[in-house]
């Protein structure tokens, strides 16, 4: 059958309701958006429509390489969803494609390191008569998803002893080989999240570095404090983990040596350096174990330490993907603060703490989200004249609306009935979409509610 006589099927989206995300040049969509548009079918022969299905699909296709006996091979395993995972590891991830892309020419599927893709798919079954039986035509349309996220409680860094560095202590000397003057401790905790709204292409927050100074002698304290200059270099660390098997827990670098099917992409964003002079110090008395009536004297001065705080602005001039974690792909962030101290001889500080990036839900939409879900949001509004309608050589367009419903966990298959415009009864079913798994790759469906019309 030549291409002229082959039925042609096309999905056409209405982009008026798309997410006006200034960080993306392409059309993008968010949870609770509705995909509205037309299903266009053209055929040179008179045909009767037997069945139409429209559904939304999300899948992760990852690949990794291994060197086994000097041969390059691809390795893959079936990834299975974990049931006991943190809440932020069960929500819909954004569209993502990194690293070298492998294309399956037979299916047109793209595999990357990693890849998260969404598609709107349609399948139409036709009967042209004449005893030839039924034929099926399908099509798909890529859809870019940029979900809204929220800030979660700070990461328990004790669960990742080799991943972060929240505190360091360095010895102070006036000269390279001079005697020890004391010790300085720098510490930092997880800063507030870097928050983007729907229109912003940049975001900023602030990290806070706490300093503590303990001196061996109090005679040189004032002069030393006046001469200190802090050269601060902040960085944002982007950590992307992907695997062919489900993560046993929130991924970290220490899992790389334990799980051969897991890989790690490490990127850095350098932020503006700055020099800080004239830091405001204050002296804090330590809690004394002496009796309350005991008063310090000149011979026994009070024991304490000098403290100060260094605010460090964290500004990203580009729109970063939100923090997310799925069963086989995770995007995590960290803030690295490097501090060189001049005026004394001491080693530099290198602190690293976890860090969240969130895409804030618009206030108006957030208020709507708390209300009960409407029926038109929950089901597919599918319109057609009649199953017995015959198609001429001109194209026939079918309107459709697919609501993007992204629950935190997979929902059991449900069914309901709705009335089409023609007065006939149409059954709408929504459940977890099925996807194919290829040798050397892994396809993982996300807990989306695709909606079918039969």
Q: What is the pLDDT of residues 65-100, one digit of tens each?
A: 765 444 444 444 333 343 355 565 667 788 988 888
Say if residues 383 and 421 touch (Cβ distance below 8 Å). Answer: yes
Query: Alpha-carbon distance 322 to 23, whole Å?
Result: 12
Q: For residue 293, tell me if it sits in a domain.
A: no
| Residue whose structure tokens are 């976890």 | 354
Q: For residue 390, tell me if it sits in a domain.
A: yes
Residues 165 and 182 in one domain: yes
Cis peptide upstream of residue 114 (ω within 30 degrees of 0): yes
Which residue range is the domain that position 275 belongs to?
Answer: 157-287+302-359
Query: Alpha-carbon distance 216 to 214, whole Å?
Result: 7
Sign of the four-CA dihedral 37, 39, 44, 46: negative
Q: What percent of the chain is predicted at pLDDT more than 70?
A: 64
Phi and psi, residue 154, nearest 5°: -55, 150
Q: Is pLDDT above 50 for 438?
A: no
Greatest mean pLDDT range, 16-25, 85-94, 265-274, 287-296: 265-274
Residues 143 and 20 in one domain: yes
Q: How confident is the model at residue 371 (pLDDT cuts 50, 70, 90)?
A: very low
Residues 390 and 276 in one domain: no
Q: Is pLDDT above 60 for 235?
A: yes
Q: Kindly list the distances between the CA atom of residue 420 and the CA atoms of 12, 121, 229, 387, in Å, as whole numbers in the listed order.
A: 21, 21, 73, 12
Pair of tokens at residue 235? 């960085």
Number of other CB atoms surrounding residue 380 within 10 Å: 23
Q: How confident is the model at residue 264 (pLDDT cuts 50, 70, 90)?
A: confident
Q: For residue 437, tell me if it sits in a domain.
A: yes
The domain tally of the chain equals 2
Q: Kindly list the distances between the CA atom of residue 414 and the CA atoms of 33, 351, 417, 434, 450, in Å, as whole numbers in the listed order.
A: 21, 50, 11, 15, 11
Helix (H) or strand (E) holding 221: helix 221-227
Say if residues 103 and 125 touch (Cβ distance below 8 Å). Answer: no
The arithmetic mean of pLDDT across residues 381-410, rounded, is 35
Residues 142 and 131 in one domain: yes
Q: What is the pLDDT of residue 349?
A: 96
Query: Alpha-carbon distance 127 to 370, whole Å?
Result: 45
Query: Alpha-carbon distance 33 to 414, whole Å?
Result: 21
- From 90, 21, 31, 28, select the one nearest 369 (Cα to Cα): 31
Residue that is last in its domain, among 359, 385, 406: 359
Query: Alpha-carbon distance 130 to 5, whole Å?
Result: 15
Q: Which region among 160-164, 220-224, 255-259 has the lowest average model confidence (pLDDT)?
A: 255-259
Q: Is 99 left (phi over 0), alpha (psi -120 to 50) or beta?
A: left
Q: What is the average pLDDT value for the chain, to the nearest integer? A: 71
Query: Alpha-carbon distance 369 to 266, whole Å?
Result: 35
Residues 264 and 348 in one domain: yes
Residues 168 and 310 in one domain: yes
| Residue whose structure tokens are 């034929």 | 135
Q: For residue 297, tell me if it sits in a domain.
A: no
Number of other CB atoms surrounding residue 202 within 10 Å: 14
| Residue whose structure tokens are 């860094």 | 157
H-type alpha helices, 298-399 = 363-369, 375-378
Residues 414 and 439 in one domain: yes
Pair of tokens at residue 129? 């008569």
Say if residues 274 and 314 touch (Cβ distance below 8 Å). Answer: no
The arithmetic mean of pLDDT across residues 330-343, rounded, is 94
Residues 191 and 229 in one domain: yes
Say if residues 350 and 168 touch (Cβ distance below 8 Å). Answer: yes
Q: What is the pLDDT of residue 390?
A: 29
Residue that is last in its domain, among 310, 329, 359: 359
Residues 307 and 182 in one domain: yes
Q: For residue 226, tell me if it sits in a domain.
A: yes
Return the SS3 of 194.
Answer: strand
Q: Which residues touch 326 (CB under 8 Å, ≥6 apart)?
A: 60, 89, 93, 116, 444, 446
Query: Alpha-carbon distance 79 to 246, whole Å?
Result: 5
Name the DSSP class of 287.
Answer: P
The arithmetic mean of pLDDT across residues 411-429, rounded, is 27
Q: For residue 2, tell me if it sits in a domain.
A: no
Q: Is pLDDT above 60 for 442?
A: no
Q: For residue 15, tell me if it sits in a domain.
A: yes
Name the DSSP class of 361.
Answer: P
Q: What is the pLDDT of residue 411?
A: 32
Q: For residue 26, tell me if it sits in a domain.
A: yes
Q: Which residues touch 396 (CB under 8 Å, ≥6 apart)?
A: 40, 41, 42
Greatest mean pLDDT range, 7-11, 20-24, 241-245, 306-310: 306-310
Residue that is last in its domain, among 312, 329, 359: 359
Q: What is the pLDDT of residues 146-190, one digit of tens each?
A: 888 888 889 888 888 889 999 999 998 887 777 778 899 999 999
- From 65, 21, 50, select the one nearest 127 (Cα to Cα): 50
Residues 254 and 112 in one domain: no
Pair of tokens at residue 167? 């505190």
Query: Alpha-carbon distance 260 to 75, whole Å?
Result: 10
Residues 164 and 283 in one domain: yes
Residues 105 and 66 in one domain: yes
């Amino acid at each position: 059958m030549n291409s002229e006589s082959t039925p042609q099927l096309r999905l056409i989206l209405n982009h008026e309701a798309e997410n006006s995300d200034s960080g993306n040049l392409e059309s993008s969509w968010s949870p609770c958006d509705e995909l509205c548009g037309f299903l266009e079918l053209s055929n040179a022969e008179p045909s009767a429509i037997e069945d139409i299905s429209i559904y939304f699909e999300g899948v992760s296709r990852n690949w990794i390489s291994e060197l086994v006996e000097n041969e390059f091979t691809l390795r893959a395993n079936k990834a299975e969803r974990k049931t006991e995972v943190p809440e932020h590891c069960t929500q819909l991830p954004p569209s993502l494609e990194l690293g070298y892309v492998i294309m399956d020419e037979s299916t047109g599927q793209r595999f990357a390191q990693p890849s998260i893709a969404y598609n709107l798919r349609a399948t139409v079954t036709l009967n042209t008569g004449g005893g030839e039986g039924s034929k099926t035509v399908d099509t798909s349309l890529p859809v870019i998803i940029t979900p809204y996220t929220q800030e979660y409680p700070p990461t328990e860094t004790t669960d990742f002893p080799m991943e972060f560095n929240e505190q360091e202590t360095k010895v102070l000397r006036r000269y390279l080989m001079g005697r020890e003057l004391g010790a300085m401790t720098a510490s930092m905790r997880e800063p507030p999240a870097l928050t983007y709204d729907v229109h912003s292409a940049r975001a900023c927050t602030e990290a806070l570095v706490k300093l503590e100074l303990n001196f061996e002698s109090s005679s040189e304290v004032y002069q030393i404090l006046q001469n200190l200059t802090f050269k601060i270099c902040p960085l944002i660390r982007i950590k992307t983990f992907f695997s062919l098997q489900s993560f046993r827990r929130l991924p970290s670098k220490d899992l790389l040596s334990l799980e051969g099917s897991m890989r790690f992409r490490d990127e850095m964003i350098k932020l503006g350096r700055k020099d800080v002079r004239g830091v405001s110090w204050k002296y804090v008395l330590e809690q004394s174990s002496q009796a309350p009536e005991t008063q310090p004297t000149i011979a026994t001065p009070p024991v304490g330490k000098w403290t100060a705080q260094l605010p460090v602005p964290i500004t990203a001039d580009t729109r970063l993907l939100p923090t997310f974690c799925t069963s086989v792909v995770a995007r995590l962030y960290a803030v690295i603060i490097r501090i060189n101290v001049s005026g004394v001889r001491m080693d530099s500080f290198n602190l690293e703490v976890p860090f969240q990036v969130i895409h804030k839900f618009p206030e108006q939409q957030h208020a709507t989200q708390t209300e009960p879900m409407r029926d038109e949001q929950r089901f597919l509004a599918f319109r057609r004249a009649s199953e017995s309608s015959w198609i001429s050589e001109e194209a026939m367009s079918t309107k459709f609306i697919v609501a993007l419903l992204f629950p935190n966990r997979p929902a059991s298959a449900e069914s309901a009935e709705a009335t089409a415009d023609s007065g006939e009864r149409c059954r709408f079913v929504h459940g977890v979409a099925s996807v194919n798994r290829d040798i050397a790759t892994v396809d993982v469906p996300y807990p989306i509610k695709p909606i079918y019309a039969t």
